[in-house]
Amino acid sequence: MKVLAQPGTAPIVPPSTITTLTVVMSIRVYSAAEVHAALPWEALVRTLEEAFVAGTTEVPLRHAHRLGEGGSLLLMPAWSARALGVKLVTVMPQAAALGLPTLQASYLLCDRQTGAPLALLDGEALTVRRTAAASALAAQRLARVDARTLLMVGAGRLAPWLIRAHVALRPTLSRVWVWARRSDRAQAAVAQLCREGIDVSVHLDLAAAVAQADLVCSTTTATQPVVLGEWLRPGTHLDLVGGFRPDMREIDDAAVARCAPIVVDTRAGALAEAGDLVQPLARGVITLQRITGELAELLRGDCAGRTADDQITLFKSVGTALEDLAAAQLVLQR
């Protein structure tokens, strides 16, 4: 739009342009530190539970686009009566040569009625926080109430946040172990958590650790099973977070066959992306009827959670934009 003015006078700016400029200038940008500070675990879990139970958020399947040179663009939109938002994730392998992260994420939150942008939030902080909170929320319904030992399988960027969430929301946990293929990464994660006052240690024997754990949380990018069903003892809760493609596996068929109930964050996402379920379903190891329900149904009481101490329960998440939207609104509220 051209803004015209007589020589020697101020430009004549149409009212609509003034409004637009005001809206753009009023967007609040939240850093990673600010996002984390605004999302304490208990408040975030309550907010996610309310959003899942309400069931009023529209969440289309995520959009994935290949950009060439191994690059990808992911778009995760969601909207409710109050707000709409979209998470934009870029994966650029060539960025590593410049010393930059290969994955970048940001979240734009807008007013639902006007579409006016309200805030731009650090997408990685939002993602790790809401993902960990969703796992801890599911574990409140699926893990035994007396669970004392947590095993973290994997030591990537999400692993410490999962430990923080589970420990914060489950005071009975008295023993926390981390196992990873690279022991140096496990040691680094443990050192950071110990500095924060969390009692955690490295375990070098995965089979032995699984056999003693009450809660096994896995966040790997493995394409071959890491946790085997023969290692699981009755009463264990499995929290699978890492696999997000049909070719990825964190547990084997024997483990899936032993699990009941099996709960997913969303059926649409899990049945399209979760190799830990897609592959056993394709081979007839389990049927669709073995998937007990979605997290929303579990929280509403529409499907059963743990009903016996000896059950091996499973929660499989691939991520849902409902969590992003609910968490972003909480950041603004706080």
The verdict on 187 and 305 lying in the same domain is yes
314 and 329 co-located in one domain? no
**6 lies in some domain:** no
Distance CA 34, CA 55 (A): 28
**162, 96: one domain:** no
Q: What is the mean pLDDT of the chain?
A: 91
Q: Give the model's pLDDT for residue 3.
A: 35
Position 63 pLDDT exceeds 90: no
286 and 180 both lie in a single domain = yes
Per-residue model confidence as pLDDT tens digits over 215-241: 999 999 899 999 999 999 999 999 999
In a domain, 2, yes or no: no
Q: What percent of the chain has pLDDT over 70?
A: 93
Domain assignment present for residue 131? The answer is no
Residue 55 and residue 97 in one domain: yes
Query: 3-state SS of the chain: helix, strand, coil percent to 5?
Result: 40, 25, 35
CB 261 within 8 A of CB 313: yes
Residue 47 belongs to a domain:
yes
pLDDT level of residue 143 (50, 70, 90 thresholds): very high
pLDDT tens string 33-50: 999 999 999 999 999 999
Give the per-residue pLDDT at 244.
85
Residues 97 and 193 both lie in one domain = no
Does residue 289 share a domain with residue 195? yes
Q: Is the preceding omega at residue 261 within 30 degrees of 0, hence cis?
A: yes
| Residues 161 and 211 both lie in one domain | yes
Domain membership of residue 57 (yes or no) is yes
pLDDT at 93: 82
Q: How many domains does the chain have?
A: 2
Helix extents (H) in the chain = 15-25, 32-37, 41-54, 123-142, 159-169, 183-195, 206-212, 253-258, 267-273, 275-283, 295-300, 321-333
Helices 41-54 + 321-333 axis angle, to 10: 130
**Concatenated DSSP letters of 82-128:** SEEEEEEEEE-GGGGGGT--SEEEEEEEEETTT--EEEEEEHHHHHH
Identify the three-state secondary structure at position 313: strand
Residue 191 and residue 167 share a domain: yes
216, part of any domain? yes
Q: Is pLDDT at 8 greater than 80 in this prediction?
A: no
- pLDDT at residue 18 is higher than 60: no
CA distance 45 to 47: 5
pLDDT score recorded for residue 9: 38
Q: Is residue 135 part of a domain?
A: no
27 and 108 together in one domain: yes
Residues 59 and 203 in one domain: no
On whether the CB atoms of residues 271 and 277 are closer than 8 A, the answer is yes
Give me the domain span that covers residue 237: 142-320
Question: What is the mean pLDDT of the segment spanning 187-191?
Answer: 96
At residue 151, the 3 state secondary structure works out as strand
Judge whether 61 lies within some domain: yes
The per-residue pLDDT for 15 is: 43
| CATH code, domain carrying 49 | 3.30.1780.10
Q: What residues have CB less than 8 Å from 132, skipping those under 6 apart? A: 158, 161, 162, 164, 165, 166
Residue 287 burial by Cβ neighbours in a 10 Å radius (0-12, 13-18, 19+): exposed
pLDDT at 195 over 50: yes
pLDDT score recorded for residue 69: 79
Q: What is the CATH number of the domain that holds 226?
A: 3.40.50.720
Do 110 and 183 fall into the same domain? no
Say what the pLDDT of residue 194 is. 96
For residue 259, the model assigns a pLDDT of: 97
What are 117's strand-pairing partners?
A: 110
What is the pLDDT, as a whole number, of residue 22? 46
pLDDT of 264 > 90? The answer is yes
The pLDDT assigned to 154 comes to 95
